[in-house]
Structure 1
């Protein structure tokens, strides 16, 4: 081979090596992403469950029409940050991702789950990259770390639950911030100098990314502490150790200037953003209840310290052995540690020993080279967990698996480091055994993750799993009872509410909800009052008791309770509607209007409140303003079919039939319900579109086959459409099921009368009168119809008596009076006819003329009218 040939071969080898490394790197990341997708692929068809409903479905800030400005002034759940009832969780960037999800794919849960799985894949791949560049010298250990992170079962809540996106996205931004900070620090030129800031832009980028991490979830701010300690103990370790051990310690301050500048910049920036964060909170901390975090409400300092310490070891155990997992660890799941003799203190002491040993290891390893795994593992494990430790402020949970998403990075690093150390001293067979063991652990974790994902597929699966996992947890029984209540399974709901109260007798919400399921008003009142004894500011118990007393006529007490419900829950829209309806019933329309306006001011995103105000405005004669509120209700909640139907009815009353029909049809696109079909059918019926009315009413009967009213309406449409036989048969069927159907007999009478079967028509009316209707108007109309049938049969005396009974029941029946006068005229009883209050009586039936009596005793012809029967007199308006 010639010299030029050898040179060409040596030039090609590095290129081949680079390509192979690139392919190998791409393969590693592809396998890692595929493993994440396989482990969480079964979550894609899950529902929005538990906190997802409150953070997404019921959150006004997430809706497409809402203002983006509100996202930056409200908390994670859509409440104002300055509100006393706010959770104070400020995560606008996470809410923006929810809003983007809805803009791109609507409320379909699939796209939310796809986004979560993709974010988990990205976080896992970035974690492996971070381990390769900044933690391990051995690439294999970085892969093992990332594989363990990808399949760890404790991540199921963060990835399967959509609300957990805050933790996953914060972890991703945490790693990006960390890497950006490291890129901003240059390398040591000599052992005498600390690395300077190589890229100010990278440093500023790290500040921006860290801020974004905090705006996704509060724990993201801990990345700045990790960056500073990594800078001092890893990047600057060698120069610092050299100067601390050497004779030039007096020059240390001058040498450390680059580090001090970075530390001052980071620290000052953290102080600023934390001050802004506290300002957004309105200067107050979130208010949690005892059931959220029982240890923090214990008056005994020793109990608080021992319980908080034990919870640290409990979280560590969840990372080590995620055997028992649950979506909620509140209310009795973990009893308080109240004495030094509690055996659980052993776990606390064991954790303390391990952590002290790891810290000492980090200190002693400062002089060594390439021994940063334990230090980074400790930083990643401890710092992200500090906000959840109750060390600086009270948190709203006992244990939450999703908050372990970021700390688990440190756990995975420590496990991989331990595995590497064991393999280095175990020999070939020992290494093989450890490798197989690690593979089995990864398979076991993957299986557990897939199984745990099934728990998050639906509300029922989630709540049932909670009961099976922690049957002594009152909160899981309460949540499952809520699900059963919403599903209409009330006996089961009552059973689980009672269990929740047995486990936690002071559960005010369980008492309140149990009251709503109780049939006895006295028993319900007792539950509401017990709930208020436990928590006098329970706004829903105040609301329910107020409504109960309102239904009992105790209006003054009801008003006071509803006012208190608004005072303690100013954003509870139902309380405004109930109080306003009470005022409306009392004819205090100005007060009702004021309450509605105040409610809309405090709850501008409540579609139900706008709808109810629209109903009130219609009742008070302000239809145009009502239409605007109905439309606003639909804008706030595009699926608010009740507001659409109300708007359709309003337009129908104004004879705007085409627009009314469009709103009814729009409501039907949301759901096919009888409440929508019947007004649409009535519109078709009243406008003579009988075939369309038949189609609508037939669908209504299929949806609600037990409704007599709908079957009767269908029969009426059939009769008007010319299907009298089918209408008659259907009406007879209704009568066979419900013999007291007065309207059925009236319809039969009309059908028979139209055929000329006056005898059968008269019999149908008699059967209707035999039911003795309580409504005077209905009874009067029946007598009037009977008079018409008798008149058609030329039984004028009996017809006269029937008309007489009608006007005795309802004196304002002008047509009955006119027909009575007509009968008297036909019988040539002129003097008697003049005594009737009717202004007209028939003079020449064949010519269709009538006369009226004037005040001076003379008579005058009325304008001509057409009446071929010669019986019915002209309506009063003609005269």
Structure 2
């Protein structure tokens, strides 16, 4: 906590404290926005714990009375740090408040001030109940997890009334207690003649001021060093009583400060937040609550110092409570181990969101029927979820139709995903239309507008990529340049620069290709794709030494990136260094054994070095990873053919012809295979 005194400022300690507070507050804010409220906690400590400032002096703006104690300096430093950090935060937000979807915080979207007020009054009560009794927890409390309080006769208003009444009364007792303690501290110690003197903290009498300084110093000496000299025994006894009050009061102040200030940002008091209840915002307040509980147990324990049976009951109760909450923590941690467990656990609290996420997990596991039912369950609870409609109609490994117009109109991320799927299926005209529509969608009023602006640029990026794959290179260049013109400042441009370079390299303009690769590296010096494309550029220029240097640079930046190993291995194979290429592919396969392209290309290299067993194994894996790719089955058939597994080879050739009936190479290989089988049968018959 921060303590700034004039003397400390002079010897440099104050500057060190300020710097430390600024650094740790910044780190806290960068971790989570509510971390900035540590400033308010520091101010509470400085005012009420260290300097024992009276509340009436704050209310009446009389802090200048504490000038010699450094109170104003401390508050000014803390305020400066806080305002600086807030300014930085607003700068990165574009000086605009965050925007959220209505479903994230339904109360903020309500047109009724009455409904908003009653609901916002209830939410702190529910958050406090989670602290007291964390029995029901959820990964998401948005949508209708907490129904709006729309009537004065809603029974939940009773809890709000009770909560704020207790809170008001507790604050009254605390403030009254602070005032009483301040009055006790302003008494001087009893002198040798037994005469007791009282003083005003800001008396104009110089002797009184000297006495105050002396008495306060003696009191601190007792508290910190435990002095027990005979000449000061009376002072020690009096201050010990005060010190006990200080300890209980200080803990109470700090506990409440830690509980209240970090939570204020979640109350919708200053701006609307993107959630109803978020358990993550209770992490810091829970520290204050734990401190408060521990102090309460300690006070009860001391109260019954002469009753051992009651002390045992208190101790056992506390230990049992601690064990129960620890067990709850262990159970909850296990829920968070997998997405499946986490989303399933939230069904009782937020069924719409939980069923939708749970369905996505089931679908990714290939459990199509269960995923479909889960999507339908989600839509039963909330029928207007665009992403769920989209996933239900298009995400269950079934042919895609254009019967999801509702989701196309409601969710620009669904547009992007749908266009990508159309492009993958070869439906380029439909993909082109949706990419262009996505890039021009109106994203005002949507949750996280930055994300949606990024999605629009991503649509242009993917459209340019599709054009490039179709050899529509001029169209690709125009789309990429449009993406750069429309790119907001927060969208990283290196991928667009790199793709522009690739298109120029395809059309043979190597100078412009190198220019855009360099632009990508300027934007992000450790951009791996730019290193790989630069290496391929020098390979095309037949500058093989430079090309290999770029591969090695990429490998040095990220030794664990399998793509670097894959492209490096491809380079080594194309330059005739097949054994080195095979070793590089083995390294890549250890990192990413389930990648189709990697398995397929590695199989080609192992076939060339006549490691036929491993080549066959990798071709099999490639065909399993992408069973709809004809070349995978064709190459597997050829390898099986070469290895003498003729019946299996015939099956693979036939599978390849099902997928690509007009492939001449497969037809010729199949004919050769059947001739071989027939000749072997003839020999066997002879």
TM-score under structure 1 length normalisation: 0.55
Please state how far the C-alpha of 1:597 moved relative to its aligned partner: 6.0
- Number of the residue aligned with 2:634: 709
Deviation at 1:314, TM superposition (A): 0.4
**CA shift in 2, pair 1:556/1:260, >3 Å:** closer
Comparing 477-486 and 581-590, the one that deviates more: 581-590
Q: Is the Cα contact below 8 Å between 1:331 and 1:473 reproduced in 2? A: no
Q: In the aligned structure 1, how far is the partner of 2:139 from the partner of 2:560?
A: 30
C-alpha change, 1:461 and 1:614, in structure 2 (3 Å) is farther
The count of aligned residue pairs is 549
Cα deviation for residue 312 of structure 1 reads 0.4
Partner of 1:450: 330
Q: Could you tell me which of 296, 299, 308 is aligned with 1:418? A: 296
Among candidates 320, 327, 340, match of residue 132 of structure 2: 320
Cα distance per residue 1:484-535 (max 9 Å; x no partner): 232232332222222222222221222222232256767x4232x2124435
Partner of 2:387: 509
Does the aligned pair in 2 maintain the 1:677–1:697 contact within 8 Å? no
Matched residue, 2:220? none
Local SS of the residue matching 1:700: helix
Judging changes above 3 Å, is the alpha-carbon distance between structure 1 residues 241 and 489 closer, same or farther for their aligned structure 2 residues? closer
- Once the two structures are superposed, residues 427-475 of structure 1 have per-residue CA deviations (whole angstroms, 9 ceiling, x without a partner) of 43222211111111011111111111111112222222222x42x4311
**Aligned in 2, Cα 1:198/1:357: closer, same or farther, shift over 3 Å?**
farther
- 8 Å contact 1:701–1:710 — kept in the other structure? no
Contact 2:565 2:587 in 1 (8 A): yes
> 1: distance between equivalents of 2:508 and 2:90?
48
Q: Is the 8 A contact 2:122 2:160 kept in 1?
A: yes
**What does the per-residue CA deviation read over 1:621-658, in whole Å, with 9 as the maximum and x for residues that have no partner?**
67997997471699598766567656755775676756
Specify the structure having the higher radius of gyration (Cα). 1
Q: Could you say if the C-alpha distance between residues 197 and 389 of structure 1 is closer, same or farther in structure 2, counting changes exceeding 3 Å?
A: farther
Q: Is the 1:474–1:500 contact (alpha carbons within 8 Å) kept by the matching residues of 2?
A: yes
**Alignment equivalent of 1:595, drawn from 452, 475, 479:** 479
Change (3 A) 1:532 1:421: same
Mean alpha-carbon deviation: is it higher for 347-356 or for 490-499?
490-499
Which of 311, 333, 345 pairs up with 1:431? 311
CA contact (8 A) 1:583 1:592 kept: yes
Tell me the equivalent position of 1:700.
619
The 5 Å alignment of 1:658-697 reads 661=582, 664-673=585-594, 675-685=597-607, 687=608, 689-690=609-610, 692-697=611-616
Change in Cα spacing, 1:365 to 1:658, as seen in structure 2 (3 Å) is same
- Does residue 280 of structure 1 match 2:95? no
CA contact (8 A) 1:611 1:629 kept: yes
Assess if the C-alpha contact under 8 Å between 1:459 and 1:483 holds in 2.
yes
- Pairwise CA distance, 1:421: 3.8
Distance in 1, Cα, partners of 2:61 & 2:673: 112
Question: Does 2:438 match 1:551?
Answer: no
1:545-570 deviation per Cα after TM superposition (whole angstroms, max 9, x unaligned): 58649817457734532433699443
TM-score, normalising length: structure 2: 0.68
**Equivalent runs, 1:737-752 vs 2, <5 Å:** 742-748=667-673, 751=676
1:269-668 matches, within 5 Å, as 269-366=81-178, 367-368=180-181, 369=242, 370=245, 371-372=248-249, 373-426=251-304, 427-467=307-347, 469-470=348-349, 472-517=350-395, 524-527=401-404, 529-535=405-411, 538-544=412-418, 548=422, 551=427, 553-554=429-430, 557-558=433-434, 560-564=436-440, 568-570=452-454, 575-584=459-468, 588-596=472-480, 604=492, 620=507, 629=530, 631=532, 635=554, 641=562, 645=566, 661=582, 664-668=585-589
Shift of the 490–732 alpha-carbon distance from structure 1 to 2, 3 Å rule, reads closer
1:799-878 aligned at under 5 Å gives the runs none
Equivalent-residue separation in structure 2 for 1:483 and 1:266 (angstroms): 46
Q: Distance in 2 between matches of 1:445 and 1:377?
A: 20
CA 1:715/1:411 → structure 2, altered by over 3 Å: closer, same or farther?
A: closer
Contact kept in structure 2, 1:423 and 1:434, CA below 8 Å: yes
Change (3 A) 1:254 1:493: same
The CA distance in 2 between the partners of 1:663 and 1:565, in whole Å, is 45
Aligned twin of 2:190:
none
Q: Secondary structure at the match of 1:494?
A: helix
2-structure distance, mates of 1:640, 1:748 = 40
Once residues 284 and 276 of structure 2 are traced to their aligned partners in structure 1, the CA distance between those partners, rounded to angstroms, is 18
1:544-603 superposed Cα distances (whole Å, 9 cap, x missing partner): 158649817457734532433699443567524541255347764212134346668966
Structure 1 residues 455 and 593, CA gap change in structure 2 (3 angstroms): same
Which sits farther off after the overlay, 207-216 or 308-317? 207-216
- Relative distance call for 1:615 and 1:749 in structure 2 (3 A) is farther
> Any idea what SS the aligned residue of 1:353 has?
helix
Q: Is the 8 A contact 2:44 2:253 kept in 1?
A: no
CA distance in 2, matches of 1:487, 1:323: 30
| Cα RMSD (Å) | 4.4
* Preserved contact between residue 118 and residue 149 of structure 2 (Cα < 8 Å): yes
